[in-house]
A and B are shown apart, each in its own frame.
Chain A
Amino acid sequence: MCETCGCGDPELVPVEVHESLLAGNDRQAAHNREHFRARGVLAINLMGSPGSGKTALLEATARARGRGRLGAMSGDLATERDAERLRAAGIPAAAITTGSACHLDAELVHHALHRFPWQELDTLVIENVGNLVCPAIYDLGQAANVVALSVTEGEDKPLKYPVMFRKADLVVLTKIDLLPHLPGFSLAALEDAIARTMPRPRVLALSATTGEGLTAWLDWLAEQRSLHPVGPAHESAHDHSHGHEHDHSHGHGHDHSAVDDRAPEGAQGQGSHHSADHHRHSADGGHR
Chain B
Amino acid sequence: MHEVSLVQSLLARVASEAVRHGARSVAKIHLRVGELSGVEPALLASAFELCRDGVAAAAELVLTREPAEWRCGRCGDGLPPGARLCCASCGGVVRLVGGDALLLERLEMEVAEASPEPAPEPAPGQATGAPATSGMLGGATTG
Query: Please, what's the 1-or-0 string for A233-250, where 1 marks a CB less than 8 Å from any CB in chain B?
Result: 000000000111100000
- B63 nearest CB across to chain A (Å): 12
Query: Please, what's the 1-or-0 string for A37-50, where 1 marks a CB less than 8 Å from any CB in chain B?
Result: 00000000000000
Tell whether, in the assembled complex, residue A20 and residue B139 are in contact, meaning their CB atoms are under 8 Å apart.
Answer: yes
Interface residues of B in 42-70 (CB under 8 A from A): 70
* Total inter-chain residue pairs, C-beta < 8 Å: 168
Stretch at the interface among A11-19, A63-71, A208-216, A251-259: A11-19
- B81 nearest CB across to chain A (Å): 10
Flag whether A157 is at the interface (Cβ < 8 A): no
Docked CA distance A15–B24 (Å): 14
Q: Is the interface of B mostly helix, strand, loop or mixed?
A: loop
B129 CB contact (under 8 Å) in A9, A12, A13, A242: A242
Flag whether B94 is at the interface (Cβ < 8 A): yes
Interface residues of B in 118-143 (CB under 8 A from A): 125, 128-130, 132-143
Top 7 A-B residue pairs of the complex, sorted by shortest distance between their CB atoms = A243-B129, A10-B110, A139-B141, A137-B38, A134-B2, A163-B38, A102-B1
* Known pairs A12-B109, A244-B128 / 8 extra A-B pairs, C-beta < 8 Å: A15-B108, A17-B105, A20-B138, A21-B104, A23-B136, A199-B94, A245-B125, A272-B142
B residues in contact (CB < 8 Å) with A: 1-2, 5-6, 9-10, 13, 17, 21, 23-25, 27-28, 31, 36-39, 70, 82-86, 93-96, 101-114, 125, 128-130, 132-143
A residues in contact (CB < 8 Å) with B: 2-3, 6, 8-26, 29, 100-103, 105, 133-134, 136-139, 145, 162-163, 166-167, 192, 195-201, 242-245, 272-273
